[in-house]
A = this chain, B = another copy of it.
Amino acid sequence: MEHLFSERVKKAKASEIREILKLTQQPEIISFAGGLPAPELFPIEEMKAVTLKVLETMGKDALQYSPTEGYDPLREKIAMRMAKQGVHAQKEDILITSGSQQGLDFTGKVFINPNDYVLCESPSYLGAINAFKAYECQFKEIDTDSDGMIMSHLESIINQTENVKYIYVIPDFQNPSGRTWSLERRKALVEIANKYNLVIIEDNPYGELRFEGESQPAVKSLDTEGRVVYLGTFSKTFSPGLRIGWVCASETLLSKYITVKQSADLQSSSISQRELDVFLEDYDLDAHIEKIKKVYKHRRDLMISTMADHFPRQAHYEVPQGGLFAWIELPEQIDAKVLMEKAVARKVAFVPGGSFFPNGGHENTMRVNYSNMPDDKIVEGIIRLGALLKEEL
């Protein structure tokens, strides 16, 4: 039946991260591979209370079909929360999605014809690359430094490339690099999108998890022509298991996402949307985020200091100011995929960095996550990795 499959599916391969996550589900593995939040911080007691309240006060609505756009009180609260990032949004600008991964999938569906180009940071988020690839796009990777995309490179690529649809960026604590864009680069990005009549996809799952330094306004807040699509999620600030994210965009763009959602899954969970809404009403999500930040900052510090003590000096990394990931560059002769196999044999896992470059190469890089493991495992895992690296170098 192979001949019956679509071209997009014939080309697709299962996400390496998901396959690695499966591998690392063995409990004895110390996994720095996934992007999993710390489960001990999940607000389980609060979830019990909000679920009971939802079922008692609006049980019938919570279990019934509901509008594609989402539950209005939740849309309103999300619109209000966007103000923290300088975005003046209204309920009508918000579409509730099943995690921000769905926002990425819809982005591909809304914009990409086969062989259109997507411009992205080099490296970029693997899940986004796979979501867009499913619509048969090509990628051009834009060089980045510690302030974000290099604008001269971006502009020269735009000038050289036909059928560019959008520029995909993760400006805050980027996955996988951990880097954050400067305000100047954010402004310049919007100017370039305006000049060349392109759309910007701003993916911001980690922006609220800043441990230190000054917050930058969302690119969406600098949007002068309604051409920035902002993707948000509660996966890293509340719970990924609920699968609630959102798209914030101007009516012209958002209406296409809504049409796509209608045929994709009708709507996101009626009950989960209400649970989250009641949580936002009855509890203090920002106080909860402060708790998360405190733990993650501690884990980042521990991971970085252990790396400083135990990694060979040829392994380079920056200290991320927030988010979930650190990014490591190794000497060119090291293949992190081969390293990964050896690491798993020693019961420690990470993601080889090559997967984050849509056009390949950069096999000498790796991403490590510090949010999901307790202190002793962070230390032990990094010591094991350091020993392995020293043997390989």
Interface residues of A (CB under 8 A from B): 1, 3-9, 12-15, 18, 21-22, 34, 36-37, 39-40, 42, 44, 47-48, 51-52, 55-56, 59-68, 97-99, 101-102, 104-105, 109-113, 116, 127, 130-131, 133-135, 165-166, 197-199, 227, 235, 239-243, 252-253, 256, 258-260, 262-272
Given contacts A6-B111, A102-B265, A268-B243, contact A14 B259 (CB under 8 A): yes
Residues of B within 8 A of A111 (CB): 4-6, 9
Do A42 and B64 touch (CB < 8 A)? yes
**Known contacts being A48-B51, A48-B55, A51-B55, is A9 close to B109, with CB within 8 Å?**
yes
Number of chain copies forming the complex: 2
Among A55, A199, A265, find the residue whose CB has the most chain B CB atoms closer than 10 A.
A265
Of B55, B59, B64, the residue contacting A36 (CB under 8 A) is B64
Assess the B51–A264 pair: CB atoms within 8 A.
Answer: no
- Among the interface residues A7, A240, A253, which one has the most CB atoms of the partner chain B within 10 A? A240
Residue from B1, B133, B252 in contact with A197 in the complex, judged by beta carbons closer than 8 Å: B1
Main SS of the interface on chain A?
helix
Name the residue in A7, A111, A241 with the highest tally of chain B Cβ atoms < 10 Å from its Cβ. A241
- In the bound complex, residues from chain B placing their C-beta under 8 Å from that of A130 are 262-263
In the complex, the answer to whether B99 meets A266 with C-beta atoms within 8 Å is yes
B residues within 8 A CB of A44?
Answer: 55, 59-60, 63
**Contacting residues, chain B, for A47 (C-beta < 8 A):** 55, 59, 63
Set of chain B residues within 8 Å of A127, measured between Cβ atoms: 263, 266
> A242 to chain B: which residues have CB within 8 Å?
63, 269-271
Q: Would B64 and A263 count as touching, CB distance under 8 A?
A: no
Interface centre among A21, A40, A113 (most CB of B within 10 A): A113
Task: Give the distance in Å from the alpha carbon of A96 to the alpha carbon of B321 in the complex.
Answer: 37
Q: Given known contacts A6-B110, A166-B4, is B66 in contact with A264 (CB within 8 Å)?
A: no
Please tell me if the beta carbons of B34 and A59 are within 8 angstroms of each other in the complex: no
Closest A-B pairs by Cβ, 10 of them: A241-B270, A39-B60, A44-B59, A63-B239, A42-B63, A63-B241, A131-B263, A102-B265, A130-B263, A98-B265
- Once the chains bind, are B39 and A112 in contact (CB under 8 Å)? no
Determine whether the beta carbon of B1 is less than 8 Å from that of A253. yes
Chain B's nearest CB lies how many Å from the CB of A33? 12
A6 and B115 alpha carbons, distance in the complex (Å): 11
A65 pairs with B240, CB closer than 8 A: yes
26 residue pairs A–B, Cβ–Cβ below 8 Å: A1-B227, A4-B166, A4-B198, A6-B112, A6-B116, A6-B135, A7-B113, A9-B109, A12-B259, A12-B260, A18-B67, A22-B67, A37-B64, A39-B64, A42-B60, A42-B63, A44-B60, A48-B56, A52-B52, A63-B242, A64-B240, A65-B235, A65-B240, A97-B265, A131-B263, A269-B272
* Of the residues B14, B66, B243, contact of A267 by C-beta under 8 Å: B243
Q: Which of B18, B98, B198 contacts A98 (CB 8 A)?
A: B98
Known: A12-B259, A243-B267. 14 other contacts (CB 8 A): A3-B197, A4-B111, A4-B166, A6-B112, A9-B256, A36-B65, A42-B63, A48-B56, A64-B239, A64-B241, A98-B268, A98-B269, A130-B263, A264-B264
